[in-house]
Amino acid sequence: MFIYLNGLFVGLLILSNIISVKLFSIGEFILPAAAIVYVLTYLITDVIGEVYGKEAAMKTVRAGFITQVIALFFVFAAIHLPEAAVFGMQAEFEAILGGSFRVMFASLLAYIVSQHIDVSVFHQLKRKHGNKKLWLRNNLSTASSQLIDTGIFIVVAFVGTVPTNVLISMVVTQYVFKFIVAIVDTPFTYLFVAIARKEKNIQPYAPDVKVG
């Protein structure tokens, strides 16, 4: 289960970087397409932290960072490979993945800050409440880290490409969207934690408390 969770985590990260270049609207609200997948990565690290411990969650975060750096390198390389004569979409390819390059950089910066905050807040609350109140640490850690993530990501990824009022609207809208998703996905956090514990036949993770 741990391997599957890590695979899903990394896959969602790469996918969110690629699709973030598209903006979509819900009524008057504008969001990057990554909003529909990236928010799920916080659920995954919370599940990993709850079942396997803080160090396992931090290793997942570090693995995600390394994977994104590697992906960024290969995207850059692919853009600059000499195109074949039969390939008539170099401009479109560069426009999409070139935008993705900037989005990936913004994502890396937001990611490394917010994911560490998410894991740290989650386990501070876990040390305080033990194995109780999973819903509280899941929602509070996600809400605080997503606020930082959203601000950094939207500003770095889209400043200069959209009007300032649209930029502000995107930050507010995306954070509200993520906050709602964080609340809605709470039952799934409990479900995945239960599945992981059952499959691995382990006891609930004991918080990091020094004895003696």
Please report the DSSP string for 90-105 in residue order. HHHHHHHHHHHHHHHH
pTM, two decimals, is 0.79
Residue 100: the pLDDT is 59
| DSSP designation for 81 | S
| DSSP designation for 40 | H
| CA–CA separation, 204 and 50 (whole Å) | 8
Question: Using one digit for the tens of pLDDT, what is the confidence trace for 145-191?
Answer: 888 988 898 888 778 877 888 888 878 888 888 888 888 888 998 89
Position with higher pLDDT, 114 vs 32: 114
Instruction: Map out the domains of the chain as residue ranges.
Output: 2-200
| CA–CA separation, 134 and 115 (whole Å) | 18
| CA–CA separation, 89 and 82 (whole Å) | 12
Which residue in the block uniquely carries the two structure tokens 């950094």? 152
Residue 6: the pLDDT is 93
Reduce the DSSP state of residue 89 to 3 states and report it.
Answer: coil
Residue 209: the pLDDT is 45
| pLDDT band at 212; cut points 50, 70, 90 | very low
Question: Using one digit for the tens of pLDDT, what is the confidence trace for 65-106?
Answer: 998 888 888 888 888 888 888 888 888 888 777 765 677 788
Residue 42: the pLDDT is 87
Q: Which residues contact 150 (CB under 8 A, 6 or more apart)?
A: 110, 171, 174, 175, 178
Residue 211: the pLDDT is 42
Greatest CA separation for the chain: 72
Instruction: Identify the CATH assignment for 2-200 out of 3.20.20, 2.60.120, 1.10.1760, 1.10.10.
Output: 1.10.1760
Q: Which of 6-20, 29-43, 98-112 has the lowest mean pLDDT?
A: 98-112
The number of residues in the chain equals 212
Residue 47: the pLDDT is 92
